[in-house]
DNA sequence: TAAAATATGAATTTTAATTTCATAAAGAAT
DNA sequence: ATTCTTTATGAAATTAAAATTCATATTTTA
């Protein structure tokens, strides 16, 4: 059985110029097309709406609506993925961008599976499980993951700390010991603030877990445990939206793993928190 | 997240009479529905067309067209790809959990496409573009998205504010005017703190954008603009990891859209920031 | 080089999706 | 019990999307 996209590909050479443009656009942006109208697609492919309809018939599908359904089915069966925003262009509407964001984020999360090492993950979970304090630190885009992690581990009953403020962190770290864990979050692994705090924490004896991309970066080299995120494409102007998704995926994994381990013991506290929340109608 | 059909099945008891008839028809004839128009389906289910549209929203999908696409996808997925945490079991290793996290997060992001309404998105982008100040607020798990958004829009040159502290926010809101935008983030749409600040902001004349699930929640009703996130499964003990991913996907979309709009104008500031960062070797 | 065939888009028509509004029924408040 | 709200619903109107028609441009063929 040939998929719809294969069919389009094969038909490409036999289509007229305008119809071929449609085919090419569809192949290049298949994720977005099922949500498009004929008018939108006609603009994108620089053809008329009439030609869209003709295109559908050319590839053997009776109507544009059926075409979209067939394409959706095709996509569900075999997932392709766009991985960067390089294809953004001037006339993209917010809705177009939305679909690109979905794709990029999805594929970023998917590729987490490739970069994370299972042994390192096990080490990280063990370290965090027995930790007395957990300190998270990330700057810029990576602060999101730090804030998120801090919240989650507090919920689990840990003494969990983060701050966006370097100086605040400077006053936290002297109190760390071998019993504590410092989680450094930096996509590049080169961020100076993160590195300095990492080294400081390490001098105090804390176990350092790095959430960073697999590379020869100083952070990677110096950390005790490496939770690697994939090297997702990053637009030099936009910055990386997707790397934050990968960091959060790692955080989620740590959270769930710890929950799973100590879960039964914190359930009472969870119910307490929830009950009180209900009582206060918050 | 459960499949669309499961979701309908679960929702059945809570739907109104007419909507339930639709749900039952859809479950009994799911193969046929993706090819039906609202008029046809309304006849089959013995309801009005308007009720069809309302049914889609009731089960958390933004439009009839999205509903049909989602249903088609659901039908195509024969394998019940485990997408929720209900299948967690005792002997899951951290690495097993990791793969489940990937699954869940991926599918959450994917289903964003079903719930977000393109017109609302356009309205939101327009509102934010012309905003003088943007205030983000979310509590608990939703604070992550607020913090992230605040950072991103500051980068774009906006006067962008957030705080985890309700009292701090209370002192921010009196200064809002019609020129400002208040973005309320709450999965359930029922969080009291968020609602109170939302109403306060609205009284001051600010445009309220809600990032929340499509539901009959107070936040949904009261907001001026709704950016709906999908109703992702949420384990009552673990809390929802995935809903944060959907909120961030919406934030990313807003950020990219605004960047796209005013992008060229902020590039110089981006370079300045980057240059200075290099100079300071941070 | 003229006639026929083909390809294309603008404009129109048809159809479908969505919204609005009026009404009826059910609940809550007095 | 009765008024006021809220909720549910469909009929009608509106808006948006898909499909068709038709005029024109281009290419091919005789």
Per-residue burial over A171-197, b if 16 or more Cβ lie within 10 Å, else e, is ebbeebeeebbbbbbbbbbbbebbbeb
Q: Which of A258-272, B172-186, B250-264 has the lowest mean pLDDT?
A: A258-272
Residue B81 has pLDDT above 80, yes or no: no
Question: What's the pLDDT score for residue B238?
Answer: 67
Which part of chain A is CATH 3.40.50.10490?
115-279
CA A181 to chain centre: 24
A87 touches chain B (CB under 8 A): no
Task: Say yes or no for a CB contact (<8 Å) between A98 and B69.
Answer: no
Tokens encoding A199: 């080294």
Tokens encoding A83: 């991985």
CA nearest neighbour of B95 among A117, A212, A115, A249: A117
Q: Is A100 exposed, middle or buried (0-12, 13-18, 19+ CB in 10 A)?
A: buried
Q: Which CATH architecture has domain B1-80?
A: Orthogonal Bundle (1.10)
Which part of chain B is CATH 1.10.10.10?
1-80
Residue B82 has pLDDT above 50, yes or no: no
Question: What's the pLDDT score for residue A106?
Answer: 87
Q: What residues of chain A lie within 8 A of the CB of B151, using their CB?
A: 140-141, 143-144
Query: What is the rounded distance in angstroms from the CA atom of residue B250 to the CA atom of residue B232?
Result: 15
What average pLDDT does range A262-278 have in this prediction? 66
Residue B162 forms beta bridges with which residues?
A: B136
Q: Are A85 and A100 in contact (CB under 8 A)?
A: yes
Q: Are A71 and A208 in contact (CB under 8 A)?
A: no
Query: What is the rounded distance in angstroms from the CA atom of residue A19 to the CA atom of residue A51?
Result: 7
Surface of A (110-129) touching B: CB under 8 A: 110, 112-113, 116, 118, 121-122, 125
B98 min Cα distance to partner chain A (Å): 5
Q: Which residue is nearest to nucleotide C7 (CA to C1')?
A: A16
Q: Return the residue in B72, B142, B186, B192 with the most chain A beta carbons within 10 A, the one to mutate for interface testing.
A: B72
Size of interface A-B (CB pairs under 8 A): 174
Query: What is the rounded distance in angstroms from the CA atom of residue A218 to the CA atom of residue A193?
Result: 12
The CA-atom distances, in angstroms, between A149 and each of A43, A139, A193, B140, B276 are 44, 14, 19, 12, 29
Q: What residues of chain B lie within 8 A of the CB of A139, using their CB?
A: 282
Q: Is B86 exposed, middle or buried (0-12, 13-18, 19+ CB in 10 A)?
A: exposed
Question: What's the pLDDT score for residue A265?
Answer: 65
CATH 3.40.50.10490 fits A115-279, yes or no: yes
Q: Which of A187-201, B16-30, B66-80, B199-213 has the lowest mean pLDDT?
A: B66-80
Distance between the alpha carbon (CA) of A253 and the C1' atom of C27, Å? 47
- Sign of the Cα torsion B68, B73, B75, B80 reads negative
A228 min Cα distance to partner chain B (Å): 13
Of B92, B102, B141, the CB nearest to A110: B102
Distance between the alpha carbon (CA) of B64 and the C1' atom of D17, Å? 13
Q: What residues of chain B lie within 8 A of the CB of A93, using their CB?
A: 122
Strand D: which bases are under 7 Å from protein Cβ? Answer: 7-13, 16-22
Residue B267 has pLDDT above 70, yes or no: no
Closest alpha carbon within chain B to A34 = B69
The CA-atom distances, in angstroms, between A70 and each of A34, B69, B180 are 9, 10, 43
Q: Are A210 and A189 in contact (CB under 8 A)?
A: yes
Give the list of residues 6+ apart from residue A238 with CB closer than 8 angstroms, or none. Answer: A85, B256, B259
Query: What is the rounded distance in angstroms from the CA atom of residue A260 to the CA atom of residue B190?
Result: 28
The CA-atom distances, in angstroms, between A247 and each of A141, A243, B245, B273 are 10, 6, 11, 23
Residue A131, number of CB atoms within 10 A of its CB: 22
B227 touches chain A (CB under 8 A): no
Q: What angle do CA A102, A103, A107 make, to 5 degrees?
A: 120
Give the list of residues 6+ apart from residue A31 with CB closer than 8 angstroms, or none. Answer: A75, A80, A82, A99, A102, A103
Which part of chain B is CATH 3.40.50.10490?
114-273
Binned at pLDDT 50, 70 and 90, residue B79 comes out as: very low
> In chain B, where does DSSP find H-type helix?
4-11, 17-28, 38-45, 49-58, 64-76, 94-110, 112-115, 118-129, 143-155, 166-172, 192-203, 218-222, 242-279
Q: Are A68 and A31 in contact (CB under 8 A)?
A: no
Q: Return the residue in A3, A63, A101, A157 with the most chain B beta carbons within 10 A, the one to mutate for interface testing.
A: A101
CA nearest neighbour of B214 among B112, B282, B127: B112
Percentage of chain A exceeding pLDDT 70: 85
Of residues B267 and B166, the one with the higher pLDDT is B166
Surface of B (126-185) touching A: CB under 8 A: 140-141, 143-144, 147-148, 151, 155
What average pLDDT does range B20-30 have in this prediction? 86
Query: What is the rounded distance in angstroms from the CA atom of residue B185 to the CA atom of residue B237?
Result: 21
Residue A220 has pLDDT above 50, yes or no: yes
Strand C: which bases are under 7 Å from protein Cβ? Answer: 6-12, 15-21
Its CATH class, for the domain covering A4-80, is mainly alpha
Question: What's the pLDDT score for residue B84?
Answer: 54
Question: What's the pLDDT score for residue B185?
Answer: 95
Q: Which of A46-50, A101-105, B2-6, B252-256 has the lowest mean pLDDT?
A: B2-6
Query: What is the rounded distance in angstroms from the CA atom of residue B200 to the CA atom of residue A147?
Result: 27
Query: What is the rounded distance in angstroms from the CA atom of residue A247 to the CA atom of residue A113?
Result: 12
Of A68, A73, A125, the CB nearest to B76: A73
Residue A12 has pLDDT above 70, yes or no: yes
Q: Which fold has domain B114-273?
A: Rossmann fold (3.40.50)
CA B110 to chain centre: 12
């Amino acid at each position: 059985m040939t998929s719809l996209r294969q069919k389009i590909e094969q038909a490409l050479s036999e289509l007229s110029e305008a119809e071929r443009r449609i085919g090419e656009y569809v192949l290049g942006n298949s994720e977005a097309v099922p949500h498009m109208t004929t008018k939108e697609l006609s603009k994108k492919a620089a053809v008329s709406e009439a030609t869209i309809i003709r295109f559908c018939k050319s590839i053997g599908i009776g109507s544009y609506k059926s075409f979209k359904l067939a394409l959706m089915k095709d996509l569900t069966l075999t997932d392709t993925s766009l991985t960067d925003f390089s294809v953004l262009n001037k006339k993209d509407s917010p809705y177009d961008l939305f679909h690109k964001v979905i794709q990029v984020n999805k594929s970023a999360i998917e590729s987490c599976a490739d970069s994370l090492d299972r042994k390192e993950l096990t080490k990280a979970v063990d370290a965090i499980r027995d930790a007395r304090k957990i300190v998270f630190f990330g700057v810029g885009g990576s602060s999101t993951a730090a804030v998120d992690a801090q919240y989650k581990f507090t919920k689990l009953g840990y003494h969990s700390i983060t701050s966006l403020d370097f100086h605040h962190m400077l006053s936290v770290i002297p109190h760390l010991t071998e019993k504590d864990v410092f989680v450094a979050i930096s996509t590049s692994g080169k961020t100076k603030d993160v590195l300095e705090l990492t080294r400081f924490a390490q001098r105090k004896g804390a176990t350092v877990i790095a959430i960073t991309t697999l590379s020869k970066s100083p952070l990677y080299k110096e950390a005790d445990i490496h939770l690697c995120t994939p090297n997702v494409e990053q637009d030099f102007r936009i910055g990386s939206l997707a790397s934050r998704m990968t960091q959060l995926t790692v955080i989620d994994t740590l959270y769930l793993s710890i929950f799973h381990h100590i879960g039964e013991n914190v359930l009472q506290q969870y119910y307490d928190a929830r009950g009180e929340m209900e009582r206060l109608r918050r």
